[in-house]
């Protein structure tokens, strides 16, 4: 197990002796790294090798939640980039987890997330007395429950949903397949929609898609984006909300609730996972328990 303090001391010596940085700059770098190390320890990350890209992103989110300015968060990222480049150059670690995180010229811009109260307002916005409203309510619930992309949501087929087991199978970027748990709220809304509203929307038409629009075809991404915008306005939310806001909120709420980074990464599909790998490399029951324990609408 690598000692954090030893690594920080080595890096600070490098900055002082080889880079010749000023005392003020060294204090700034040291403060940023110390805060990051404290974050790793608080999150039970025992060595620098265990700290991956999601860990750095969660640290940046924590800084934002603690009202650290965008400029200061950008400085934190610059500091961590330098620290990790040093660790790679010294062959202490093999890969640089900070390399994949972009730093916009205007400063660090993190995804906009909604509070749980705002999410509730959005989920309650559709008029469920009407078939389309019932469909929209189910779409929003499963979007938040599984952290899906809009394209994944609209292309879900009826056979991809297992309401008894509480899973939805989706196909992400590059047609990569993954299985994501959904909680009881989403299951109930989808079951109600399938039993009641979907037959009314289809009438005599047959469709393989779960959420149907005209002539049994799936909704377009633009059409769903307009629906989200419409319900955000109805809910009285001023923030510019898109379908992706639900995905960001899904991840943030799980992480803030204490979910481990690897499970969230798996559920988001940021790691290439096939159906077989779901059952051989990731404990399905563990994912279910993680989702049930940490998702606010499980």
Rounded alpha-carbon distances, angstroms, from residue 280 to 36, 146, 291: 34, 21, 19
149 catalytically annotated: yes
Is 279 among the residues known to form the active site? Answer: yes
Q: Which residues pair with 88 in a beta bridge?
A: none
Q: Hunting for tokens 């994949």 — which residue is that?
A: 100
> Which one of 187, 198, 247, 291 is the catalytic residue?
247
Active site residue 185: no
3-state secondary structure of 171: strand
Residue 270 appears among annotated catalytic residues: yes
The rounded Cα 79 to chain-centroid distance in angstroms is: 24
Structure tokens at 78: 């610059």
Q: Which residue of the set 19, 95, 130, 173 is catalytic?
A: 173
| Catalytic annotation, pick one of 19, 99, 176, 279 | 279
Phi, psi of 266 (to 5 degrees): -65, -45
Tokens linked to 212 = 């149907």
Annotated catalytic residue within 73, 149, 248, 297: 149
Q: Backbone dihedral region of 268: left (phi > 0), alpha (psi from -120 to 50 degrees) or beta?
A: alpha
Sign of CA dihedral 271, 277, 279, 281: negative
> Half-sphere exposure of residue 187, counting CA atoms within 13 Å on the CB side?
15
Distance CA 102, CA 225 (A): 26
- What's the length of the chain? 298
286 counts as catalytic = no
Q: What is the DSSP letter of 212?
A: B
Contact yes or no for 13/61 (Cβ under 8 A) = no
Which residues participate in catalysis according to the annotation?
149, 173, 244, 247, 270, 279
């Amino acid at each position: 197990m690598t000692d954090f303090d030893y690594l920080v001391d080595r890096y600070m010596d490098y900055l002082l002796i080889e880079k010749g940085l000023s005392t003020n700059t060294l204090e700034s770098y040291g403060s940023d790294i110390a805060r990051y190390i404290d974050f790793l320890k608080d999150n039970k990350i025992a060595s620098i090798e265990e700290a991956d890209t999601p860990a750095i992103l969660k640290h940046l989110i924590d800084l934002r939640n603690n009202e650290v300015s965008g400029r200061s968060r950008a400085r934190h990222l610059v500091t961590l980039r330098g620290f990790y480049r040093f660790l790679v150059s010294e062959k202490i670690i093999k890969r640089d987890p900070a390399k994949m995180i972009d730093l916009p010229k205007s400063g660090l811009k993190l995804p906009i997330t909604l509070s749980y109260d705002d999410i509730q307002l959005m989920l309650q916005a559709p008029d469920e007395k009407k078939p389309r409203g019932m469909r929209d309510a189910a779409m929003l619930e499963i979007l938040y429950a599984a952290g899906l992309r809009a394209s994944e949501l609209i292309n879900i087929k009826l056979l991809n949903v297992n309401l008894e087991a509480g899973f939805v199978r989706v196909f992400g970027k590059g047609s990569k397949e993954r299985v994501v748990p959904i909680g009881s709220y989403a299951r109930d809304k989808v079951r109600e929609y399938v039993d009641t509203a979907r037959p009314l929307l289809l009438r005599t038409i047959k469709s393989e898609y779960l959420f149907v629009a005209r002539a049994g075809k799936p909704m377009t991404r633009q059409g769903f984006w307009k629906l989200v915008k419409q319900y955000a306005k109805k809910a009285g939310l001023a923030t510019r909300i898109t379908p992706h806001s639900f995905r960001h909120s899904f991840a943030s709420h799980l992480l803030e609730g204490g979910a481990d980074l690897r499970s969230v990464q798996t559920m988001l599909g940021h790691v290439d996972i096939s159906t077989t790998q779901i059952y051989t490399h990731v404990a399905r029951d563990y994912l279910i328990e993680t989702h049930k324990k940490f998702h606010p609408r499980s």
